[in-house]
Amino acid sequence: MKINRLKVVLAEKNKTNRWLAEQLGKSDVTISRWCTNEVQPSMETFLQIATLLNIDIKELLNSTKNQE
């Protein structure tokens, strides 16, 4: 299950993994692993990303409720 929408949101904002890595002081590999949902950033980091992209933190997360 994909927990975050980071890859989609970065594309929508025309931002690259490298840009985000530079903003957060993280490696490109770390950002890539977040984008593929291999690992998840902390909620604090999600908040930093949302602030950088000027979006609501909820936009970075997929709903965990079943869509019925």
Task: Tell me if 63 is assigned to some domain.
Answer: no
Condensed to tens digits (0 to 9), the pLDDT of residues 21-60 reads 999 999 999 999 999 999 999 999 999 999 999 999 999 9
Query: What's 11's domain CATH number?
Result: 1.10.260.40
Task: Tell me if 62 is assigned to some domain.
Answer: no
N- to C-terminal Cα separation, the chain: 17
Burial classification of residue 67, based on how many CB atoms lie within 10 Å of its CB (0-12 exposed, 13-18 middle, 19 or more buried): exposed
Contact between 1 and 36 under an 8 Å Cβ cutoff? The reply is no
Determine the pLDDT at residue 50.
98
Asked if the model's pLDDT at residue 65 lies above 80, the reply is no
Q: Which two tokens stand for residue 4?
A: 């975050």
Domains: count for the chain: 1
Determine the pLDDT at residue 53.
98
Determine the pLDDT at residue 68.
52
Burial 24-52 (b: 16+ CB within 10 A, else e): bebeeebbeebbeeeeebeeeebebbbee
Domain that holds residue 40: 6-57
Determine the pLDDT at residue 64.
76
